[in-house]
Structure 1
Amino acid sequence: MMDLGCLQLCLTEVANGLRNPVLMLHSRDETHRMFIAEQLGFVWVYLPDGSRLEQPFLDMSGEVLTTPWLGDERGFLGMAFHPNYQDNGRFFIYYSIQFNSKVEKIRISEMKVSASDMNMADPYSERVILEIEEPAANHNGGQLLFGLDDYLYIFTGDGGKAGDPFGKYGNSQNKSSLLGKVLRIDVDRTDSSGQQYRMPPDNPFIGDPDTRPEVFAYGVRNMWRCSVDRGDPVSRYGRGRIFCGDVGQNRYEEIDIIEKGGNYGWRAKEGFECYDLKLCQNSSLNDILPIFAYSHHVGKSVTGGYVYRGCESPNLNGLYIFGDFMSGRIMALEEDRTTGVWQERSVCMGDKKTCSFPGLINHYHKFIISFAEDEAGELYFLATTYPSSSSPYGTVFKFMDPSRRAPPGKCKQKPLPVKVKGKKFAFAPRERKSPQQLLPVDFNRCIESSL
């Protein structure tokens, strides 16, 4: 039975055949190209006409640590273009790497675009910014983004295993550890000590001898997909807020808005509830509560999304749209601007009749890996039928609200031309109008992100 009170959405398929696509980005250079990264370490360029270039923008597959295991969280995990990419060609990447078949780390590096081809990175330009040792295979974080302040934000996991068992309080509450944190660094300057970045002078814990100066916020478990709100197109309300989905442990998944110096509660709390009673009852916890949490009856591994600020679907404006990796549910939150409270807004796939317009579909793959926003602010998500780093079932879907469309001609974009040197492949949709039989997945073998 369909919930008649739900906002019915339709989808269009925009890319397919991808191996666990972990993110899709635009480079803010007015070309409206999209860059799609696979967990294996390949980044592909898609042109505004939907075609894909034959050569990858970046191939880090020789460096990146991945396995074919279902649900393995290691690999190429994050990427962010410098705010001035159009002029300086700099971008940043976040990936898993192994040394001597033993020590595993996450590495954050800077790279540059090729001087001779705007659709290829310079493979020799890597400059390592930061490496953090990972004590376990899971909870590697993986988000990179630039805030409106032009600083680079790095979202690390708590180090893995279950219940953040590291040390007396766990990594997340330990401000001298870089794990379980939101870090903020200035990548436009180097340090006199030879460090590849500088501390923003207003980072909240600078001068505290027990805290790493990179720490911007702490008490996070494994934030998987964060985004910067570009703000209401007219009033600019909400501009610059950073939203994150933080994957839960046994009972709850949560959505947070990141605040400077904030403690997000893990492992003392999970969602709104106590997880570690002793830590939870500590009067100095002073944690920031989620804007929304849901139980494991609904889903078991949150995938953070975006606040919709596009032009094509006016009804979606201001809704924070996100999903769950394990249950395949798409959800939305709506803010009451007078109280600041976020409430769930019921969304669902439109029925056959609602999504009958040519090119529209009303079904998608179950495992929602990531959400994305294009240069115009339209919203997408990346999903697969079989979450292994080498299985080529990853598909990119674009949201469309059939109930209210922008008037014709209102949302026209004029992308800057892209000089293409090699071959390109035209997009061919694979999804049928009606849902097809998807690959069966053995859930007992799936390594749930919530373990």
Structure 2
Amino acid sequence: MKVKVPTVTNRNFETMNLFCALSLVCILILSGCKKHDEDSGSGGNEKKVDLQLVAEDFVSPLQVVSAPGTKNLYILDQVGKVWMIDSSGKKWPTPFLDLSSRIAPLSSNYDERGLIGLAFHPDFKSNCRFYVYYQLPPRAGGPVPGASWNNLSRVSQFRANCDERRTDMSTEKVLLEWDDPQMNHNGGALAFGPDEFLYIAIGDGGGANDTDLGHVDDWYSGNKGGNAQNIEANFFGKILRINIKSSSPTGTPYTIPTQNPFLNAPGLDEIYAYGFRNPYRMSFDIGGEHGLIVSDAGQALSEEINLVEKGHNYGWNVREGRHCFNAANNKDIPASCPTEDNLGNSLRDPVIEVNNWQNPTGGKATTIIGGHVYRGRAIEGWDGKYIFGTFSQSPTTPNGELFMATMGGSNWEYKEVSVKNHPNDLGYYIKGFGQDNDGEVYVTVSSNAGPTGNTGKVYKIVPATDN
């Protein structure tokens, strides 16, 4: 099929290579970190909010997850542990899950590996099953002769002892695993949809530009590389959807949902959507239309939030955000690029685009951190608003910001959230978000960019009280 190539104006953007001129640590930070525009949302009458401390003394908390049918919260710590906060607010003294001896050794300065995803089975209350995504040390071999893989990525099922306080470590059942060429761009989010299928967000394999070792060619000759655009070679740069309720007759520990877009067609059967760089967090709206909302860290100009639908292509590395991308020189924006792929699928633009801190037109987000649609009752005026954040405003400053978006149309308006006692930023690196079964939203933070120390905290976003 012939690919349509329309003209796309530059709009005065230039790409700046993420950490290429800096140290390896900086390269790793910036290749996974991105930035944002100033307030692009309209004014509103939402009430000021505050942060209520829920628990602390974590290393690098990435996620707060509620277990269906319970009032307990589970805190995912990147170093390999999951901690339970019971219905009384007590943090249990021993981990609910401890994989710290199994995960790949982590860099204390910055790392995108570790225990990075957690989801509970919809019937957890009765079957005690849950799912994790983590990185192990690499297996032998490498993406090309003479090169080594960086890690082995794995998605597993575990079963808890049904007091909900600890995991039976002997029950691990590996669902998927794949050799990963670089340490960054692992994605990491796991979520069950309203269809009760398990969704898995996987990054493009790492490095920069989707062009390093372990990055295959794709259909677009204008850019080298393209794991995210190649739907037949691997899972990189994709969101997968699998049915874990039954095993395949061929022995696979899951089956493929019959409505998956590439079942009985060219492309890997597990793929639900593709064209992502680093889909670090994703969530389903627990109300409304139950949309799947995915944050995708950009290269050097733009961070993005995508409203993801089955079978669609979200552009990377043909596009970054809403503009064309040049893999050979990411400081240059091509005048034009395809608007659809070789299958005739349109390259979908994000619903939110946020400027990276390196964007020459201005911006101050190292990485976008996806959150949740607020469906609680505590905060007046917040129902149906999408809450998200930024990791920080530069790689070395713990000053992430909180944002609120009004959903609707193809370009969601957003603005910074005013937080009492944190008038300019939160004063931490924002690592992730969470939501309880009542629809209230939580944010996880740390004073350290990497998985080190014990400054990690979990806060609940609550209405501000008058002094």
Q: Same fold (TM over 0.5)?
A: yes
Greater shift, 241-250 or 95-104, is seen at 95-104
How far the C-alpha of 1:403 sits from its partner, in A, is 7.9
SS in 1 for 2:443: strand
For the structure 1 residues 345 and 362, does the alpha-carbon distance in structure 2 shift closer, same or farther, using more than 3 Å as the test?
A: closer
How far the C-alpha of 1:99 sits from its partner, in A, is 3.5
1 CA distance for matches of 2:52 and 2:85?
Answer: 16
Structure 2 counterpart of 1:270: 320
1 CA distance for matches of 2:193 and 2:317?
Answer: 26
2:258 paired with 1:219: no
Structure 2 counterpart of 1:307: 373
Structure 1 counterpart of 2:11: none
Greater shift, 393-402 or 269-278, is seen at 269-278
Aligned CA-pair RMSD:
2.4
2 CA distance for matches of 1:382 and 1:261?
Answer: 32
**Partner residue of 1:128 out of 170, 174, 180:** 174
Structure 2 counterpart of 1:242: 292
2:194 paired with 1:148: yes
Aligned amino acid, residue 64 of structure 2: M
**Partner residue of 2:119 out of 57, 64, 80:** 80
2:262 paired with 1:205: yes
1:279-322 deviations in Å (ceiling 9; x for gaps): 93264361111111011113120100111000111211111010
1:182-208 deviations in Å (ceiling 9; x for gaps): 000011111111111111011011112
Unaligned runs of at least 5 residues, structure 1 = 232-236, 353-360, 405-432, 434-451
Q: Give 1:51-450 correspondences, 5 Å limit.
A: 51-100=90-139, 103=149, 104-114=151-161, 117-165=163-211, 166-169=215-218, 170-176=226-232, 177-209=234-266, 211-231=267-287, 237-238=288-289, 240-276=290-326, 277=334, 280-281=337-338, 283-284=340-341, 286-296=346-356, 297-327=363-393, 328-336=400-408, 339=409, 341-350=411-420, 364-402=426-464
Contact 1:316–1:401 (CA under 8 A) maintained in structure 2: no
1:366-385 deviations in Å (ceiling 9; x for gaps): 21000111121111100100
Greater shift, 72-81 or 47-56, is seen at 47-56
Contact 2:136–2:152 (CA under 8 A) maintained in structure 1: yes
2 CA distance for matches of 1:269 and 1:74?
Answer: 25
2 CA distance for matches of 1:148 and 1:387?
Answer: 34
Quote the sequence identity (%).
Answer: 33
* TM-score for the superposition, normalised by structure 2: 0.78
SS in 1 for 2:137: strand
* TM-score for the superposition, normalised by structure 1: 0.81
Unaligned runs of at least 5 residues, structure 2 = 1-38, 141-147, 219-225, 327-333, 357-362, 394-399
SS in 2 for 1:194: coil
Structure 2 counterpart of 1:438: none
List 4+ stretches of structure 1 deviating above 4 A: 2-7
How far the C-alpha of 1:100 sits from its partner, in A, is 4.9
How far the C-alpha of 1:247 sits from its partner, in A, is 0.3
